[in-house]
A and B are shown apart, each in its own frame.
Chain A
């Protein structure tokens, strides 16, 4: 009798023409929650600037949206420009000179190739755990190369 009852439970659709009706209520609940979450994070513009993979950017309350300008990345180990590793941090962090020669050479090569200069603006993507000593040297070298308008890429808080 027990086995017959179980079979009746599992084949309840057989008497209605052999169709199986799965219980979709919980699935629709999940889909609805997912839909609300995705609509909240929906962005028509998207991000004009992409964060580098190997960086943990600092968090800030700033709401100023970034524009695509020349960008330098300072990871925990190296200084990177347009995907190319220019120098390792250890090579210049204790140097007597404030100028990073590799970066200055990269700027001069870039200017020789007549790449359009974007209004002396430069954006620094720096890891949050980097010491200011490294950032300071990068900024100084940038100013020597003619860049005076700086911005820092940060993760928007909240």
Chain B
């Protein structure tokens, strides 16, 4: 029986192959490496290509993250400079103050969860109190304002976006300085509330934060005016704004940590609205 098994040449080759591979196990390691190296060059070339692509993607991802942070920091600096320029134009004085950016720290935070009902009103990021984040920290993307932090735990924060009806943002028209409040509509756009009928707002105007809410610094980009329907029966002007940030597609945001005690040397007034109020307006309990 056993000898008949080897009578077939195919069977013999099979056993030769098995014997060869079994013998290879007992070959000294250094010799095995020498045998494998030419085969490795040929057969593992696609694997090296895959590894190169993965490394490249990781590098690009890291670079993208760094550039996003840089863009956000530049957006903040831009908001500050525009405010200062406007103040300089109004006062007719030279620009003497140093940039107050040392009072602001941007922390990049990946989004790790979203609200399951709308996907756009709230999300959770993986940075929290241990990273210096507190409720009411502004949340930005490189394109503009996203929302604010409303609750923190040691390692995570809950962010309320501008698409939540309970998160109005005090804004102004960057050209005419007409003030308003944002309110989300059903199509992921924003409407401006309390815009007087005679306000000078035109399609294409950029809407930026006014700083009156006490949460966002002045001058951060919010959106662009897309439509101003003429409705004679309404008390206020209807203004539709397309936000610069698409909240549903965000994967990473930047949280602005503003120092507890702002240095008194910031006399350009850019961050003055973030200082605690010392007086209250009549009929208001203050913040």
The yes or no verdict on A and B being binding partners is no
